[in-house]
Amino acid sequence: MTESPPRAWAEIDCSALHHNLQLARRHSGKAIMAVIKGGAYGHGLIEIAKELDKQNLPFLGVANTGEARSLFKEGIKTRPYILGATLQSEREEITACGWTPCLCSFEEIEHFNQLGKDSPIEAHLALDTGMGRGGFLPNQLGEALQKLRQASGIKLTGVGSHLPVADEDAVFTQKQFELFDSMVESIPGRDEKFHVHLSNSAGLLDYHSRTTNLVRPGLLIYGISPLPAHQEFLTCQDCSGVIPILLTGLRLLRCLFCLLSGS
């Protein structure tokens, strides 16, 4: 029995993915954590991760341990970074596999410190600069850093925050950048290997930080600008801008125009 060919299909343009990644690098001038949460924004988690694994990135940003585990099973070498707070039941696996969590609460610091007693886990500290659903507020940062200095099971290797409305509210977002930079500058002992990250796609397109050395593009690497003002510029004719990576195709079964014209 002959298998019927697909009537419609979708393909990923890997060259466009690489192009968009380079655009993010050039525009930001910083290292890239490619965000692949939500099944790489619906483009296919493993397929996209395998392509990005060739790009020598410091991290791949995932939503949870389930996505990190999928990468691990497929042999992806780039380190997963868990975006957001972790559940207590996830932390032993994170520690055992060497994935990087972001510490959003004192409870997480205490638990990861216990889990990392024999082999310290590398972790980032999440700062709440206005998103309001995770991370340490400015008046909590000093205490958090003190606890981390005493935590032999945790090696602090970075710090980050999130921009909830970078594509909607420029005034609020600019205040976030100013607060984030001032908080980061209060952290002693930072060096060039210490990862500092704040910007998503909208953030890297329209804002500037004096402390960050890493950005976290999501939409941008898939060929979409979150800022309408930038979409036309990015898709200019000389192909120096962003290129959608999702291609769709279909088989033409009947041409209505031809039928109507008698051809």
Please write the tens of the pLDDT for every residue from 32-57: 999 999 999 999 999 999 999 999 99
Q: What is the pLDDT of residues 204-224, one digit of tens each?
A: 999 999 999 999 999 999 998
Query: In this structure, is the dihedral angle defined by the CA atoms of residues 175, 180, 182 and 183, taken in order, positive or negative?
Result: positive
Max CA separation in the chain (angstroms) = 83
Quick one: which H or E segment has residue 81?
strand 80-82
The predicted pLDDT at position 261 comes to: 53
Average pLDDT of the segment spanning 129-152: 95
C-alpha span between 37 and 74 (Å, rounded): 16
The predicted pLDDT at position 232 comes to: 57
Q: CB burial class (10 A; 0-12, 13-18, 19+) of residue 220? A: buried
Q: What is the pLDDT of residues 62-110, one digit of tens each?
A: 999 999 999 999 999 999 999 999 999 999 999 999 999 999 999 999 9
**In sequence order, which ranges of 98-169 are alpha helices (DSSP H)?**
106-115, 141-149
User: What percent of the chain is predicted at pLDDT more than 70?
Assistant: 88
Architecture of domain 8-261: Alpha-Beta Barrel (3.20)
The predicted pLDDT at position 125 comes to: 98
Q: Is the pTM of this model over 0.85?
A: yes
The predicted pLDDT at position 254 comes to: 61
Whether residue 255 is predicted with pLDDT greater than 90 in this model: the reply is no
DSSP state, 63? S
The predicted pLDDT at position 48 comes to: 97
C-alpha span between 168 and 180 (Å, rounded): 19
Which range (20-24, 111-115, 160-164) has the least confidence?
20-24
Query: Are 52 and 36 contacting, i.e. CB atoms less than 8 angstroms apart?
Result: yes
Confidence of residue 180 (pLDDT cuts 50, 70, 90): very high
Quick one: which H or E segment has residue 25?
helix 14-28
Q: What is the pLDDT of residues 99-114, one digit of tens each?
A: 999 999 999 999 999 9
The predicted pLDDT at position 10 comes to: 75
The predicted pLDDT at position 21 comes to: 95
**Please, what is the average pLDDT of the chain?**
90
Whether residue 238 is predicted with pLDDT greater than 80 in this model: the reply is no
Whether residue 172 is predicted with pLDDT greater than 50 in this model: the reply is yes
Residue 156 pairs with which residues in a beta bridge? 123
Q: 210-215: long-range contacts at Cβ-Cβ below 8 A with a sequence spacing of 24 or more?
A: 210/181, 211/180, 211/181, 211/184, 211/185, 212/30, 212/184, 213/30, 213/31, 214/30, 214/31, 214/32, 214/33, 214/58, 214/59, 214/158, 214/160, 215/24, 215/28, 215/30, 215/31, 215/32, 215/33
Domains of the chain by residue range: 8-261
C-alpha span between 31 and 22 (Å, rounded): 10
Q: What is the pLDDT of residues 187-201, one digit of tens each?
A: 998 888 999 999 999
The predicted pLDDT at position 11 comes to: 82
Query: Are 12 and 43 contacting, i.e. CB atoms less than 8 angstroms apart?
Result: yes
